[in-house]
Each structure stands twice: as structure tokens, then as C-alpha cells.
């Protein structure tokens, strides 16, 4: 049986979101489909092998996106990471209201990135966290006295006026995204590998894991522990390392980790694309 034709690319957020921008950059798909939560994205894509997904994984100010990590390390996850994209995020304060701004909508990550700026410019405005910046823009378009922190395309999508451009506490604000698929390509052009590792709950187990990468000179880019559902004080470790699966140092590392870890799953070995502007 031949490969299913890829027909749908499913992304987190509404039209005009940052993830939507990344989805549009992957142009081979016939249909782009928005979903309100990362869990909805993963659930929908896993039901049909002709679907793929785009989800955020990390922001340089707000940290890793736990909803994405939890879905990736789940025992039910069938998807693999095909590639990583980076977006240089530009945030703007926008509104349709003509009066005083009393409430501001956004995702928790932009609020974190803009915390000091908001304290200085809108100290009395209520901050309301929603699922995505595009949802924030949609709400700001219909709520009295409301504004949103979102990207330029959201202002265009929901006919909002930009009050302040490039808001935030730091000039550089990078968000990274995973393109997920049912296909496990492991291409020769891969640069990184992500893993889900379960360790024994004993003294030194994490040290032993990290020592493997240090011994073989493999740089660890990300590490995050997540609770194992139904198991008290047991964790799944999500790791991204700066080496592809075919690298000799990575092959040696994986062999050593296989002896240490009761469970080891490769989530993808993939290329990493240069950042582009929102």
C-alpha cells in the first residue's frame, strides 16, 4: 500500500496566531486547520495518517510549553518530530475600543515576556490569560475596554488598531515550534534528536544519564521532567540533544542509555530551520 496523500496541517490557535504563521510557511498542505488547544491538535492528527501538526515547544522568555511536552511523552502518542522552526516574535498591543483599556487578553507566555512593560504602561488593567494570542485578539475585537497582546497578522484578521508596537521586556523573543507527523523519516540532514526517557527512582540515576552525554560530547539542549500518570515520584524526562541519530557519538550515547533506562523512546531526529520574523 502506498503512502497516504498528506491533506491537512493542523495548528494550535486561531487564524492569525504565531503557530498559524509557521503552518503557512509549510506550504505543501491543501488545508490548514486550527484547534483551540494543543491536546485537540494531537488528538485530531492521530486519528488519520494523512494529517500533520504544528505546535509550539519553547519560548525564550516563557520557557518550555508543558502542554506540548506532555502530549509528546504520553504513551498514547504516535507522532514524531519532523522538523523544528523558530519564529522571531514581535508582539503588539491592539484594540478596537476607543476608551480606557481596563482588561488585556493574551497567552501566558506573552504576559511573561511583557510583564515589566505592562506594569509601567497599564498597571491597573486586568490581565486575562487565554489559550492563544489569536484568541486574545478575537476577544479584544468584541469586548468593551479590552486590548490584546498579539502579532501583526491578528490585528489584520480581527480589524484591530495597534496602540503600541514591539511591546516586551527584551528585544529578542524567539518561539520554537515542532512540525509533527506519523512518518519517521530520520533524514541525513537532521541536526537534533528528542527523547522520552524513564529512569529508575534511585540515587544517581539522572546523573548517570547526563554523564553519558558528557562522556560522548553530545550537547543537551533541553531537559524537562514530567510526572508519570498513576506513579507517585516517578518521572518521564523529555530531552533534546544537538546531534542526529546517525552521528557516531549519538549512537554510542543511545546504546549506553538503553542499559540505564527502563524505557527509552525516540521522539524524532530532525533538521532545525533558521529563525524567521513574525
Regarding whether 265 and 225 lie in a shared domain, the answer is: yes
Q: Closest Cα partner for 18 from 2, 34, 4, 31? A: 34
Query: pLDDT tens digits, residue range 160-212?
Result: 999 999 998 777 889 999 999 998 776 789 999 999 999 988 899 999 999 99
Regarding whether 127 and 54 lie in a shared domain, the answer is: no
For residue 50, the enclosing domain spans 8-89+174-185
Q: How many domains does the chain have?
A: 3
Reading the block at residue 234, the C-alpha cell is 516517578
Q: What is the mean pLDDT, run by run of 10 residues, along the chain of 278 residues?
A: 72 89 87 95 96 94 91 94 94 92 94 93 96 93 96 91 90 90 83 95 93 97 91 90 96 95 95 91
pTM summary value: 0.85
Regarding whether 74 and 105 lie in a shared domain, the answer is: no
Q: CATH no. for residue 155? A: 3.40.190.10
CA-to-CA distance for 191 and 269, rounded, in angstroms? Answer: 7
Paired strand residues for 272: 84
Q: Closest Cα partner for 261 from 224, 208, 219, 221? A: 208
Query: pLDDT tens digits, residue range 127-139?
Result: 999 988 999 999 9
Regarding whether 142 and 24 lie in a shared domain, the answer is: no
Amino acid at each position: 500500500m502506498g503512502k497516504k496523500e498528506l491533506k491537512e496541517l493542523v495548528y494550535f490557535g486561531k487564524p492569525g496566531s504565531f503557530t498559524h504563521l509557521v503552518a503557512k510557511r509549510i506550504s505543501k498542505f491543501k488545508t490548514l486547520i486550527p484547534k483551540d488547544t494543543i491536546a485537540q491538535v494531537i488528538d485530531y492528527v492521530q486519528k488519520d495518517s494523512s494529517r500533520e501538526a504544528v505546535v509550539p515547544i519553547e519560548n525564550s522568555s516563557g520557557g518550555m510549553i508543558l502542554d506540548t511536552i506532555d502530549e509528546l511523552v504520553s504513551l498514547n502518542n504516535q507522532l514524531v518530530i519532523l522538523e523544528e522552526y523558530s519564529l522571531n516574535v514581535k508582539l503588539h498591543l491592539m484594540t478596537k475600543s476607543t476608551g480606557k483599556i481596563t482588561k488585556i487578553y493574551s497567552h501566558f507566555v506573552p504576559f511573561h515576556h511583557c510583564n515589566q512593560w505592562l506594569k509601567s504602561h497599564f498597571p491597573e488593567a486586568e490581565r486575562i490569560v487565554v489559550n492563544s494570542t489569536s484568541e486574545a485578539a478575537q476577544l479584544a475585537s468584541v469586548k468593551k475596554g479590552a486590548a490584546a497582546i498579539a502579532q501583526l497578522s491578528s490585528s489584520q484578521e480581527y480589524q484591530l488598531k495597534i496602540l503600541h508596537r514591539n511591546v516586551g521586556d527584551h528585544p529578542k523573543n524567539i518561539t520554537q515550534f515542532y512540525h509533527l507527523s506519523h512518518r519517521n523519516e530520520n533524514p541525513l540532514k537532521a541536526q537534533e534528536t528528542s527523547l522520552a526517557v524513564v529512569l529508575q527512582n534511585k540515587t544517581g540515576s539522572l546523573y548517570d544519564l547526563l554523564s553519558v552525554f558528557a562522556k560522548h560530547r553530545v550537547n543537551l539542549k533541553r531537559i524537562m521532567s514530567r510526572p508519570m500518570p498513576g506513579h507517585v515520584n516517578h518521572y518521564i524526562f523529555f530531552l533534546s540533544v544537538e546531534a542526529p541519530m546517525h552521528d557516531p557519538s549519538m549512537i554510542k550515547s543511545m546504546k549506553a542509555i538503553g542499559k540505564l533506562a527502563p524505557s527509552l523512546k525516540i521522539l524524532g531526529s530532525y533538521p532545525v530551520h533558521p529563525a524567521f520574523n513574525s
